[in-house]
Structure 1
Amino acid sequence: MDVELRASDDDRNRVVSELHQHTTAGRLTLDEFSDRVGAVWAARTLGDLAALTRDLPTLPDPAAEATAGSGTAGHGHRELLVLFAVAALTLLLLGSFLAATR
Structure 2
Amino acid sequence: MDVELRASDDDRNRVVAELHRHTTAGRLTLDEFSDRVGAVWTSRTLGDLAALTRDLPALPSPAADAPAGGDPAGHGRRELLVLFAVAALTLLLLGGFLAVTR
TM range (shorter): 0.5 to 0.7
Aligned-partner SS, 1:57? coil
Given residue 48 of structure 2, which amino acid in structure 1 is its aligned partner? D
Aligned-partner SS, 1:5? coil
1:83 — aligned with what?
Answer: none
Q: Point out where structure 2 has 5 or more consecutive residues left out of the alignment.
A: 81-102
The structure with the largest alpha-carbon Rg is 2
Aligned-partner SS, 2:53? coil
Task: Quote the offset at 1:79 in angstroms.
Answer: 9.1
Per-residue CA deviation, residues 53-72 of structure 1 (Å, 9 max, x unaligned), is 00001010223333646879
Count of aligned residue pairs for this structure pair: 79
Find the aligned partners of 1:16 and 1:46 in 2 and give their Cα distance: 13
Find the aligned partners of 1:60 and 1:10 in 2 and give their Cα distance: 18
Q: 1:64 to 1:13 in 2, by over 3 A?
A: same
Which has the bigger relative contact order, CA under 8 A and spacing at least 6? 1
Superposition TM-score, scaled by structure 1 size: 0.66
Superposition TM-score, scaled by structure 2 size: 0.66
Please, what is the CA RMSD of the aligned residues? 2.7
Find the aligned partners of 1:32 and 1:79 in 2 and give their Cα distance: 27
- Percent of pairs identical after alignment? 82
Q: Point out where structure 1 has 5 or more consecutive residues left out of the alignment.
A: 81-102
